[in-house]
A and B are shown apart, each in its own frame.
Chain A
Amino acid sequence: MKHPLGVTINGVPYDRVVESRRTLLDFLRDELGITGPKKGCDAGDCGCCMVLIDGVPMHSCLILAAEMEGRQVTTIEGLARGDQLHPVQEAFIRCGAVQCGFCIPGIIITAKAFLEEHPNPTTDEVIEAISGHLCRCTGYLQIVDAIMAAAEAMRVPPQHA
């Protein structure tokens, strides 16, 4: 069965037709070519496919594209403003939080939403927030450092508008 689907992705409205069984992740990757969200397990365990749905981080591999009618989806591609990276992205680069990078788009998505809600997090809260993510390269410590550093950067208002 096919469904008409109107969904906004990274601010761009799409009108498409999708099959019932198409997951949001496969829809993004294979039909729209938005490959920032990664498929690491297709089972909700790794978090590589994390996207924001109406601002809330969710595992796009366990959501049907058809469920997205009328929703706002943000992927990693939608975080930077032109050349200006999001502070979480900047911090990940600076702190050496990136190795192979496969898990990183998902973790950054989760971290962004988390920091907007918790501007002064403890290390434990950061660890809790990313506990739906797997990373096999970094051992997480530099990722946690980066999120703490990003929190600080986000608390300080930017010097130039």
Chain B
Amino acid sequence: MYGFDYHAPQSLSEATALLAQHGAAAKPLAGGTDLILHLKERRLKPRHLVDLKRIPGLDHLTAEGSELRVGAVVPLRALERAIAGDELLQATVGAGLRQMKSPTLRNRATLGGVLANADVTADLLPPLLALGTTVALHGPGGDRVLPLDEFLLGASRTALGAGEILREVTIPRVAGGRGFFQRLGLKRVGGPPLVIVAGVLVPGPEGGVARASLVAGAVGPRPARLPQVEQILLAARPAVSGIEQAAAAGAGEAGAVSDLWATKEYRQEILEVLLRRGLQAALGTGGDR
């Protein structure tokens, strides 16, 4: 492996000072399941790793009223357990989590790490984006809160500034919301995804939906909201009558690309199928899964 210095600061201020001091030559370390692999592959060559796991106050997991607040170094496994009783979060975040890495890696991998590494194909991102997740950053200039959508700039790129640490993730619990998560990958469970789609819908009057938030992942260069799909669903009365049209629209607007693993056309077709199945499940028309 590449040579570097490991630091284990005991406080947030010590950590930010280290990160600020070394600038681009330093990287925060949480679970390390991505970062340490990147070091081995020499894709990243930081001279300093700043371990966040010994810092008090980054490992909390609190469910207070309308939101779930998750410290940056909370392992995915703990998050999985914390949402066990919440139907909406189970159907979205929980379903995405079960596709992330493997159960044993989820013992180590952290939510903060997944987001800060900006693996744009991660199964967890579409559900978190659909729910309206925000992230709290702590840096030399103080604290700030960003929507996850603005935090993720692209593959391996985030809005984290010099010396900044992702401190906490806040997942809203959308009251009355129904959600779904659908994915198709090169494998049935785990393995690289080819198409992911997650949605959160809040039922409204006349069988319609009052709020619709749909996000596709792994289809294009980064996870993408599907505004046309949302518009069609918001306008349809009842909402189920708009499913076919919404699914067809989604296929077109996700910015699907071709790569070595799937063609653009295939991704579009699958996105349509998965959107239809997901919407049917969430809107209670049975569906076939």
Interface residues of A (CB under 8 A from B): 1, 3, 20-21, 23, 42-44, 47, 50, 56-59, 62-64, 66-67, 69, 110, 128-129, 131-133
Query: Is B6 in contact with A110, judged by CB distance below 8 angstroms?
Result: no
- B189 close to A (CB within 8 Å): yes
Q: Closest approach, in angstroms, between the C-beta of A103 and any C-beta of chain B?
A: 13
Query: Is B105 in contact with A132, judged by CB distance below 8 angstroms?
Result: yes
Could you say which of A42, A67, A132 contacts B104, with CB atoms under 8 Å apart? A132
Stretch at the interface among B30-38, B138-146, B171-179: B30-38
Query: Is A57 in contact with B189, judged by CB distance below 8 angstroms?
Result: no
Query: Is B36 in contact with A69, judged by CB distance below 8 angstroms?
Result: no
Could you say which of A50, A62, A131, A133 contacts B36, with CB atoms under 8 Å apart? A62
8 contacts across the A-B interface (CB closer than 8 A): A47-B104, A50-B104, A58-B104, A63-B32, A128-B189, A131-B190, A132-B101, A133-B104
Query: Is B107 in contact with A67, judged by CB distance below 8 angstroms?
Result: no
- Listed from nearest, the 8 A-B pairs whose CB atoms lie closest are A132-B102, A132-B104, A20-B6, A1-B5, A21-B1, A66-B6, A62-B36, A62-B33
Could you say which of B3, B32, B104 contacts A110, with CB atoms under 8 Å apart? B104
Query: Is B6 in contact with A44, judged by CB distance below 8 angstroms?
Result: no
Query: Is B102 in contact with A21, judged by CB distance below 8 angstroms?
Result: no
How many residues on the B side are at the interface (Cβ–Cβ under 8 A)?
A: 25
* Assembly CA distance A57 to B103 (angstroms): 9
Query: Is B3 in contact with A59, judged by CB distance below 8 angstroms?
Result: no
Query: Is A59 in contact with B33, judged by CB distance below 8 angstroms?
Result: yes
Q: Which residues, 101 to 142 on B, are CB-close (under 8 Å) to A?
A: 101-105, 107-108
Least CB separation from B31: chain A residue: A62
Query: Is B103 in contact with A59, judged by CB distance below 8 angstroms?
Result: no
* Assembly CA distance A47 to B104 (angstroms): 8
In the assembled complex, which residues on chain A have CB atoms less than 8 Å from the CB atom of B49? Answer: 20, 64
Q: Closest approach, in angstroms, between the C-beta of B102 and any C-beta of chain A?
A: 3
Q: Closest approach, in angstroms, between the C-beta of A129 and any C-beta of chain B?
A: 6
Query: Is A57 in contact with B36, judged by CB distance below 8 angstroms?
Result: no
In the assembled complex, which residues on chain A have CB atoms less than 8 Å from the CB atom of B6? Answer: 1, 3, 20-21, 64, 66-67
Could you say which of B2, B33, B37 contacts A21, with CB atoms under 8 Å apart? B2
Q: Closest approach, in angstroms, between the C-beta of B216 and any C-beta of chain A?
A: 25
* Assembly CA distance A128 to B101 (angstroms): 12
Query: Is A67 in contact with B190, judged by CB distance below 8 angstroms?
Result: no
* Assembly CA distance A67 to B104 (angstroms): 18
In the assembled complex, which residues on chain B have CB atoms less than 8 Å from the CB atom of A47? Answer: 102, 104
Query: Is B8 in contact with A63, judged by CB distance below 8 angstroms?
Result: no
Q: Closest approach, in angstroms, between the C-beta of B115 and any C-beta of chain A?
A: 18
Query: Is B40 in contact with A42, judged by CB distance below 8 angstroms?
Result: yes
Query: Is B53 in contact with A67, judged by CB distance below 8 angstroms?
Result: yes
Query: Is B51 in contact with A56, judged by CB distance below 8 angstroms?
Result: no
* Assembly CA distance A129 to B103 (angstroms): 6
In the assembled complex, which residues on chain A have CB atoms less than 8 Å from the CB atom of B51? Answer: 67
Given A20-B49, A132-B102, A133-B104, list of 6 further CB < 8 A pairs? A47-B104, A58-B104, A58-B108, A64-B32, A67-B53, A132-B104
* Assembly CA distance A56 to B105 (angstroms): 11
* Assembly CA distance A21 to B53 (angstroms): 17
Query: Is A63 in contact with B53, judged by CB distance below 8 angstroms?
Result: no
In the assembled complex, which residues on chain A have CB atoms less than 8 Å from the CB atom of B105? Answer: 44, 59, 62, 132
Query: Is A62 in contact with B108, judged by CB distance below 8 angstroms?
Result: yes
Query: Is A20 in contact with B36, judged by CB distance below 8 angstroms?
Result: no
Query: Is A57 in contact with B107, judged by CB distance below 8 angstroms?
Result: yes
Q: Closest approach, in angstroms, between the C-beta of A66 and any C-beta of chain B?
A: 5
